[in-house]
Amino acid sequence: MKKIVNDIIREELYYEKLENGLDVYYMPKKGFTKKYAVLATNYGSNELEFIPIGEDKKFRVNEGIAHFLEHKMFEQPDGGNAFDKFSKLGSNANASTNFTMTSYLFTATENFYESLDHLIKYVQTPYFTDENVEKEKGIIAQEIKMYDDDPNWKVYFNCLKGMYVNHPVRIDIAGTVESIYKITSEELYKCYNTFYNPGNMALFVIGDLDPDKIMEVVENANNFDVEKLNSEIVRFYPEEPTHINEKEIVEKFPISMPSFCMGFKDDKVGIEGRELLKKEVVTDILLDQIFNKGSELYEELYNSGDINDSFGSAFSSQIDYGYTIVVGESNDPKKVQNAVFEYIDKVKEQGLSEEDFNRIKKKKLGQVIKSFDSIITIANNFISNKFKGINMLDYLDVIKEVKFEDVSDRLKNHLKEEFSVMSIVEPK
């Protein structure tokens, strides 16, 4: 395996690309009891139009199918469930689907190699029938209804719907009750055969383990269909305009205090790799200066009673989209929104504090170094960034490269009122 070393944090990363295209990564953590593995595919809820492998025409799937497929992967041809064997081995397994990725994972302190073998094998063993697909629809429909009743989920997705006109990020990851009831076993196999393609997947393993043994298990368990090895996936996304879709969305819920999600749509998209990583780091530093605890805006709003300690901000970005959200609870969300705009205008006119920039930059460096103490944080960060062309080991170098001028420019070009959306849920 190829070895990558970061001398600053004294971490090593082993990497090998198998003949079938699967990327395998291993990070040794000497002395750690817990071990972790995640097998992920570059496929999430945003993938609604593509050309299935072996076909030549564009195919449109039903919304929520990536999440539905994740649910069905645990059902095995022998009538068992993939979770059962993990339990017998003493491993804790799970899976998740987001907008861009589906991942299957487990943690273990013993029987790791047996669990790794099982992980790879069951993800290569789809079993979809008309009967088990119909059975799953009722389960997922209940999950969708549960999220529809969650005000925090609703205020967030309404914000995405306000920001995006056409992009599928505005669609709930699980789809709708109506869309999932249209899903068929044939449609699931089309998605599986296209996206659960070793050239579209990656395995990340971390812990106190033997790299040779890892590769032996991976190669012996690897049985992907040769017809789809390294096949190029043709994906289609609707054209997304720069402007926002809707300025304000208000919905009523049985809650005691209004909550809000204020969004700023990012128009700097289409970049990946180290350039995308730098944009993320610069934006994170900017948001820390403007919105987080200790900032002038936070202190003013908190001391006046207009917000509570739920107030905060975050930046989310992929290659083809990105956005900042500012969330919180307030008896007067509109007042908070106006205060945010006034403060941003003030800072744009007077300039950011370079002293605060240097302090926050040092804090970010410390946070990244500390994150390498958690194998779960390392694995999840690595695998999610891998499909964006980002190497997590570059974080420290990129943070060091960021200059005060980069953050000042980002303030002027990103936090604009014309690209902002306000989503509110208020008491019935």
Rounded Cα distance, 411 and 43, in Å: 32
Q: Give the phi and the psi of residue 244 in degrees, each rounded to 5.
A: -80, 165
Alpha carbon distance 60, 161 (integer Å)? 21
CA dihedral over 204, 207, 212, 217, signed as positive or negative: negative
Q: Where do the DSSP E strands lie in 285-397?
A: 312-317, 322-329
DSSP state of 121: H
Angle 27-32-33 (CA atoms, 0-180°, nearest 5)? Answer: 120
The full 3-state SS of 224-265, as one line of letters, equals CCHHHCCCCCEEECCCCCCCCCCCEEEEEECCCCCEEEEEEE
Tell the residue number behind the tokens 């899976």, with chain if given: 95
219 classed as catalytic: no
Tokens representing 386 are 């891998």
Annotated catalytic residue, options 70, 136, 187, 329 = 70
Q: Report the alpha-carbon distance of residue 222 to residue 218 in Å, rounded.
A: 6
Calpha distance 357→288 (Å, rounded): 9
Q: For residue 166, report the phi and psi dihedrals to the nearest 5 degrees.
A: -120, -25
Report yes or no: 394 and 274 within 8 Å, Cβ to Cβ: yes
Task: In whole angstroms, give the CA distance from residue 158 to residue 305.
Answer: 25
Q: Are 162 and 39 in contact (CB under 8 A)?
A: no
In this structure, the strands spanning 201-207 and 23-28 are: parallel
Nearest-5° Cα angle at 414, 160 to 342: 95
Judging by beta carbons within 10 Å of its beta carbon (0-12, 13-18, 19+), is residue 373 exposed, middle or buried?
Answer: exposed
Catalytically annotated residues: 70
